[in-house]
Structure 1
């Protein structure tokens, strides 16, 4: 089964662990891999990854074998299997984020296609490696450094600064000319369609049958392919989308839990609380208290 760890070496810091557990919506920091061979097996994660190589080079499996050179940007959409990496002292910056990274009122949380656009291009068949110009690379590296500084600090307005910098990074990525890729496997192509539809429509009433009807396949076929490619079920991915929005609202608003449940697709608040506790180990109210207790800012 695919593992849920991004390729390369990232320090096992408390901030990284907080991101992996969902307590914070993004992680940014130095990327470094000095090993000649990555770990065996492929990885799949539920968040988006941006990797900027600033020195060295690397090879990795991601819809075929990719060669990453100094200055390249590698985009990994949520749910895309990738790895293992074969690196020669590659260094750079890594950025991983979930949709709730965009705070309430930013204009991005309600429209996932805004943060997804660079990754939707990849899912549409474009190559996952971008080659920015020298000026674009300098801007991206500067913004990633600034994000890392904000991320490690507790300055007032930190969350707003991170959201603004992330938006600049994504806008810059959209401006880079994207090369068209060779066709991907039928299974990955179908899985990408399914995940894109869930990300754009997952807060509405949605079932496996609904998703299968949209992509023109049987429910059994869709369930089998998505599970094989990602290690998760279609229901798991719908739940992931809804929990991401729930976390965003719990962190960024003072909405009641029953209101949040309805906004993320659950008419039964008790069912929502049970699902949230199963995923996070806490009720929504307890999770909100815990997260806000260590956050430098309360919700607006």
Structure 2
């Protein structure tokens, strides 16, 4: 099979997507077409990062302004960035991943995320790679798609290794030049960046606002307006991502995991985790160990 050829689709593609959206999978990749493109007309926000490679056609998208995506373009969408579609006849390959899929080391994670962090900081969200860069990116993404379709032993590890190659390729394409954007959008993005960096510390709306030099009501309003979620909900999202990573990759007791992610009261942590995931942390860990999707 050539790198540009998609693997045969199976009846459980939708199940894979559902597992990803319910955070049982760290990555998802698949075709996006006019009928299946998951960028609706109204603005949406998601807690995972997305990379969209346009293969054919044209798509008009709202994301920090009005964008026109054409064949060969790469659209980067950081977690928390509102975006929506005006109209599209494009065919594309979409990749989504949660930040917990990357290294546990903050500096290494930041290095891998640099292209998306530049978008968060104000850079244009569309990359226009050279032909060689586009071919390499498509190769890595197609190989990820094959690994996802196989769902064999080691497929998750292979997908994460290919994700790293995708991010390296995006870094090669990126430019550090920043674009000017509305202050409100910039404030929301700065708030999310601060939350992602400091979510394991004692953190509140008041502290986020103080660090950004704005009033708490103003920060709360802007974040809610731009992302559809409150500052508290984003803090919870980041802490739950770290909790899932520790439950998946360590044998730490649940009370230790709770403390590591910012909760001194393990009962409160278990209650929050169950509210988000539908099961207790211990049950979630057992499912992951058993490979239950």
Normalising by structure 1, what TM-score? 0.88
Partner of 2:77: 76
- What's the CA shift for 1:221? 0.8
1:181 & 1:221 partners in 2: Cα distance? Answer: 25
2:124 to 94, 110, 127: 127
Would you say 1:18 and 2:19 are equivalent positions? yes
SS of 1:49's equivalent in the other structure is strand
2:139 to 142, 145, 149: 142
2:148 to 129, 148, 151: 151
CA gap 1:246/1:82 in 2 versus in 1, 3 angstroms: same
2:182 & 2:76 partners in 1: Cα distance? Answer: 18
Please list every run of 5 or more consecutive structure 2 residues that lacks an aligned counterpart in the other structure: 1-11
CA gap 1:210/1:184 in 2 versus in 1, 3 angstroms: same
CA gap 1:265/1:96 in 2 versus in 1, 3 angstroms: same
Task: Show CA shifts across 1:218-268 (max 9, x none).
Answer: 111111110111110001000000101111111222221111111111122
Superposition map of 1:115-264 within 5 A? 115-178=112-175, 180=177, 182-264=179-261
1:203 & 1:57 partners in 2: Cα distance? Answer: 41
CA gap 1:12/1:43 in 2 versus in 1, 3 angstroms: farther
SS of 2:33's equivalent in the other structure is strand
- What's the CA shift for 1:163? 1.3
- What's the CA shift for 1:161? 1.1
CA gap 1:226/1:51 in 2 versus in 1, 3 angstroms: same
Q: Does the 8 Å contact 2:76/2:116 carry over to 1?
A: yes
1:170 & 1:286 partners in 2: Cα distance? Answer: 32
- What's the CA shift for 1:120? 1.0
Q: Does the 8 Å contact 1:130/1:179 carry over to 2?
A: no
SS of 2:214's equivalent in the other structure is coil
CA gap 1:57/1:29 in 2 versus in 1, 3 angstroms: same
Would you say 1:101 and 2:101 are equivalent positions? yes
Q: Does the 8 Å contact 1:127/1:178 carry over to 2?
A: no
CA gap 1:198/1:115 in 2 versus in 1, 3 angstroms: farther
Task: Show CA shifts across 1:258-300 (max 9, x none).
Answer: 111111111221111111011111100011112322269xxxx
Superposition map of 1:49-60 within 5 A? 49-60=50-61
SS of 2:61's equivalent in the other structure is strand
RMSD of the TM alignment (CA)?
Answer: 2.0
User: Following superposition, which runs of at least 4 residues in structure 1 exceed 6 angstroms of deviation?
Assistant: none
CA gap 1:44/1:62 in 2 versus in 1, 3 angstroms: same
2:149 & 2:246 partners in 1: Cα distance? Answer: 23
Q: How many residues align?
A: 279
- What's the CA shift for 1:126? 0.7
Q: Does the 8 Å contact 1:34/1:87 carry over to 2?
A: no
Partner of 1:30: 31
Q: Does the 8 Å contact 1:127/1:179 carry over to 2?
A: no
- What's the CA shift for 1:176? 0.9
1:20 & 1:85 partners in 2: Cα distance? Answer: 23
- What's the CA shift for 1:55? 1.1
Normalising by structure 2, what TM-score? 0.90
- What's the CA shift for 1:99? 1.4
Q: Does the 8 Å contact 1:276/1:283 carry over to 2?
A: yes
Please list every run of 5 or more consecutive structure 1 residues that lacks an aligned counterpart in the other structure: 1-10, 103-107
